[in-house]
Amino acid sequence: MKVAEVHGAVHRQRRAAGSSLGSATDNVHLIVPTSGIHMLNLRSVDLNLLPVFEVVYEECSLTSAAQRLAMSQPAVSNAVARLRVLLNDELFIRHGRGVHRTAAADAVYAKLHGALGTLRESVSDARGFDAKSSTRSFHISVSHPLGPLLAVRLRERLATAAPGIHVSFSTRSRPVDLEHSLRSGGFDAAVDWLVPASSHFHELALFEDALVAVARRDHPAALKVRHEKDLQSLEFVGLRPRIDGDSPVPGLQEWLRLKLNFAIEVSEIMEVLLLASQSGLVGLVPRSMLKLARGAFQLRVLPEVVATRTFPIKLVWPASKGSDPGQVFVRKQIEIVSRALTGR
């Protein structure tokens, strides 16, 4: 089969754009088989650009990508500019404080992400994992209300056990498309009660939780609660529902069926505790938060007149990362810290 080499394709694109690339891309050329399939010669491509593309795609923000990559934002912007020339596409279009992905970026990511993941695992397996010397980065989602405390305790533990490791956290109570973020590598693992049900993920139950009602210690009406119907005369503050309609979590269903009067719905659990401590509203919070509710906010637990089931709080991660020694280490630390926080 005849093969035609088309040299300097990227070089011409660079001249047309009036930009200047480093020597790593000066000699990029395309190998074009007569079948018409275009293959990029990777020997002359700066492969450091590929992880930058991956992270910018996942974060949809140059600022967030720079933080995750431990790079400056100008360096990330420069890398994106080089990628645009290399791939002959805008890839990311500025929109507000972030960027929108182009169709070409979607197509590249679909092929690139899996390849980079496989490469990382291969290198990690070959090197082994030494927690004391590792400088790897991990990104964890903890939407459970204990998320901020878990993040602090985990950082404290890793400062001794793995001082070079960087773990970033998202503690949003309403994570955006958690399943996609886990699949795409945006998150390495997540702690949640609503986890993706798929063979693509593995999970571990960390502890059991349940909902309880709390109020000011001197709340006049709350002290008189004896039956479920007594709750219906109270005004509540709680978190906005994670999903529309009925909850799939049994421990939440018993509370939802009471159709309580939620005067205010908020985004974060600390807002629930604050409003319950400073008003006549009754808060609905996880039992795992009671130590904080009693100590920092001077709240008391209402009599448990609702027969509720507990529900498991789980650690979930992509099956593709199951055997990575670094991932295994970090997940074990999360397990240890979360159980210490809840007394399990």
**In a structure prediction context, what are the per-residue pLDDT tens digits for the chain, which is 344 residues long?**
333 333 333 344 334 433 333 333 344 343 333 333 455 666 778 889 999 999 999 899 999 999 889 899 999 999 999 999 989 999 999 988 899 999 999 999 988 887 887 787 677 656 678 899 888 889 999 988 888 899 999 999 999 999 999 899 888 776 667 888 888 788 999 998 888 878 889 999 999 999 999 999 999 877 788 888 888 889 999 988 877 666 667 777 788 888 889 999 998 889 999 999 999 999 999 999 999 999 999 999 998 887 778 889 999 999 988 888 889 999 999 999 999 988 76
In this structure, the answer to whether residues 113 and 147 fall within a common structural domain is no
In this structure, the answer to whether residues 152 and 18 fall within a common structural domain is no
**Within 13 A of 198's CA, how many CA atoms are on the CB side?**
15
**Domain count within the chain:** 3
Q: How far, in whole angstroms, is CA 155 from its chain's centroid?
A: 16
In this structure, the answer to whether residues 113 and 141 fall within a common structural domain is no
CB within 8 A of 231, min separation 6: which ones? 213, 225, 258, 260, 282, 302, 305, 306
Q: Domain boundary residue among 98, 125, 152?
A: 125
Q: Domain boundary residue among 65, 98, 125?
A: 125
In this structure, the answer to whether residues 177 and 325 fall within a common structural domain is yes
Residue 317 burial class via C-beta count within 10 angstroms: exposed 0-12, middle 13-18, buried 19 and up: buried
Q: Domain boundary residue among 90, 108, 125?
A: 125
| 151: CATH | 3.40.190.10
In angstroms, the CA 173 to CA 271 distance is: 12
Range of the domain at 200: 131-205+313-342
In angstroms, the CA 216 to CA 298 distance is: 7
In this structure, which amino acid lies at residue 190? A
DSSP assigned state of 306: S
CB within 8 A of 10, min separation 6: which ones? 21, 25, 28, 85, 86
In this structure, the answer to whether residues 218 and 292 fall within a common structural domain is yes
In angstroms, the CA 297 to CA 283 distance is: 12
Rg (CA), the chain: 25
With beta carbons less than 8 A apart as the criterion, state whether 88 and 25 touch: no
In angstroms, the CA 252 to CA 229 distance is: 17
CB within 8 A of 298, min separation 6: which ones? 216, 217, 277
Q: How far, in whole angstroms, is CA 65 from its chain's centroid?
A: 14
